[in-house]
Amino acid sequence: MSDATRDILTPPKVQRSPLVSVLLHTALIICSFGMLYPILWMISGSFRPQEELFGTSSLIPSALDLGGYFRGWTGLQVTFGRFFWNSLVISVLATIGNVVGCSLAAFAFSRLRFGGRKFWFALMLGTLMLPYHVVLIPQYILFLHLGWVNTPLPLIVPKYLATDAFFIFLMVQFFRGIPKELDEAAVMDGCSPFRIYWKIMLPLSLPVLATAAIFSFIWTWDDFFGPLIYLSDIDTYTVQLGLRSFVDSTGSSDWTALFAMSNLSLIPVFLFFLFFQRLLIEGIATTGMKR
């Protein structure tokens, strides 16, 4: 854990009597367990024999049965492998787009001088407040005319055009903290702005770029609305859409398989949580992200 987080989020430890300590930790463990119970129950549910799921709230299955995973994986006319591949392609490309597009704009706003800079910056901040619903329908019509509906392009290309103003704002804040002397020295040495962006700003901004990348990946992976609108052919479905079709087709008949696929869909996000927990929590604490 970095010193920064320790300062922002971690109060100094307090000496307590052993009794108070034990009570406090017992309470916290019970609450943690309560918070996680539904998720744990879903995980254990996916390993149960199909008929056992109902009638028990216990977390331990009577027998370990992987049938749900097999039935779920091939439960629709296209396997979940296809959906995972689609989701992965869209999330990776969208994440790269977000980082590239937003960092270019953020570099211009924070480091370059040009006419109208303040004006464009104010407009960019204005788009932060604009709910996407007002651009939704014309964007759909635009992509329909471009022949992009039923392809992943509407979910990827806009990211390269830095449409996610929140990340621009995040990066501008960070870039401003990098000492100007660095790029002034580079200018004296005959560095072009592009080299300064590439060789100085990006390497020095890895924490904010990583935060932006992780959140873009998770949000794109979890996105349901975008794929729902743009992808109607089952071959193009993302995991989230695949899950939704699976709900519709199995209804409440095969919960084991449904839970199995739900669990798989959470794995990428969970891995990010496991390995980048500090960056995620720091990101929220310092920028006030919504989730």
Partner 1 sequence: MALHSEILSKEGRASALRSRGTFRRILERNAAGYIFLLPWLLGFFGLTLGPALASLYLSFTNYDLLQSPDWVGAANYVRILSDDPKFGAAMRVTFTYVVLSVPLKLAFALAVAMAFNRGIKGLTLYRAIFYLPSLLGSSVAIAVLWRQLFASDGLVNMALWQIFGFEGPSWISNPDYALYTLVLLSVWQFGSPMIIFLAGLRQIPTDMYEAAEMDGAGKARQFFKITLPLLTPVIFFNAVIQTIEAFKAFTPAFIISEGTGGPINSTLFYTLYLYQEAFGFFRMGYASALAWILVIIISLFTAFSFLGARYWVHYDE
Residues of this chain, 12-31, that bind partner 1 according to CB under 8 A? 12-14, 21, 24-25, 28, 31
Q: Which of 249, 222, 229 is nearest to 133 (CA)?
A: 229
For partner 1, the binding residues in 253-272 under the rule CB under 8 A are 255, 258-259, 261-263, 265-266, 269-270
Q: Which stretch binds partner 1 (CB under 8 A): 68-76, 171-179, 187-195, 202-210?
A: 187-195
Residue with tokens 């995972």: 84
Question: Interface with partner 1 includes 200 (CB under 8 A)?
Answer: no
- Site size with partner 1, rule: CB under 8 A: 106
Q: How far is the CB of 211 from partner 1 (least distance, A)?
A: 14
CA pair distance 67, 72, nearest whole angstrom = 8
**What is each CA distance from 92 to 119, 227, 235, in whole angstroms?**
32, 15, 18
CB neighbourhood size of 94 (10 A) = 25
Measured from the CB of residue 27, what is the shortest distance to partner 1 in angstroms?
9
Listed ranges 65-73, 76-84, 204-212, 248-256: which one lies at the site for partner 1 (CB under 8 A): 248-256
Q: Taking CB under 8 A as the rule, does residue 114 contact partner 1?
A: yes
CA 117 and chain centroid, separation: 30
Which of 180, 161, 160, 168 lies closest to 122 in space, CA to CA? 168
Region class of 238: left (phi > 0), else alpha (psi between -120 and 50), else beta? beta
The only residue of 88, 92, 104, 234 in contact with partner 1, by rule CB under 8 A: 104
| Residue 218 binds partner 1, judged by CB under 8 A | yes
Question: What is the full DSSP assignment across 200-231?
Answer: IIHHHTHHHHHHHHHHHHHHHHH--HHHHHH-
By the rule CB under 8 A, 284 interacts with partner 1 = yes
> Residue 46, Cβ neighbours under 10 Å: how many?
25
Minimum distance, C-beta of residue 89 to partner 1, in the bound complex (Å): 18
204 binds partner 1 (CB under 8 A): no
Q: What does the DSSP 8-state code read for residue 131?
A: -
List the x/- string, 128-147, binding to partner 1 by CB under 8 A: -xxx-xxxxxxxxxx-x---
Contact flag: residue 225 with partner 1 (CB under 8 A): yes
CB of 221 to partner 1, least distance (A): 8
